[in-house]
Amino acid sequence: MLRKRQTFDAEIFNHICDFPHIRLFIYMEIRIQSHKLISANHSMSPIELFKSLADHTRLRSLLLIHSQGELCVCELMVALGESQPKISRHLAQLRANKILLDRRQGQWVFYRINPELPGWVPDILDTTLSSNRPMIATELQQLRAAGDLRADIKETQQ
């Protein structure tokens, strides 16, 4: 039985096509799209956040990005002393969990904290960062010692 809140009428749906497999495909696509709308409005739970931060590389990456506003993969590689595939894999997980947003600039990808996160998430990141500065002190020094990597990025794009 169809629920009232679904946006299509069963009779119209049945007349769209007479083939059951096509009706099933259309029905599944509608269900998937409605699930995406519900998920988009779903607020992050503390369990989801803390699971994402349970890895040392993800936690340090997120704290560095939070402290700097935005960092590219190459900057995180220098700061953390890790390989590009490892950094990218962890950032992809944070992006999949909607904690980070990315933007492309040529061949470089820059990451920043998702501004649409619930308000308690930045509060937790602020508290973690202010209470654990030594955790990323070396990484911040590495970032400063590397100089302005963004100037190098701009030069290679011209």
pLDDT for residue 108: 87
pLDDT for residue 103: 94
Q: Which residues on adjacent β-strands are paired with residue 72?
A: 110
Ranked by mean pLDDT, the top range of 41-45, 48-52, 104-108 is 48-52
- Is pLDDT of 58 > 70? yes
Instruction: Give which of 111, 126, 127 is closest to 67, Cα–Cα.
Output: 126
- Is pLDDT of 118 > 80? yes
- Is pLDDT of 3 > 70? no
pLDDT for residue 44: 84
- Give the tokens for residue 56: 């040392």
| Section 106-117 average pLDDT | 93
pLDDT for residue 106: 87
- Its CATH architecture, for the domain 46-157, is Orthogonal Bundle (1.10)
The residue ranges of every structural domain in the chain are 10-40, 46-157
Amino acid at 107: Q
What φ, ψ does residue 110 adopt, rounded to 5°?
-105, 140
Residue-wise pLDDT tens digits, 7-39: 455 555 555 555 555 555 565 566 555 544 444
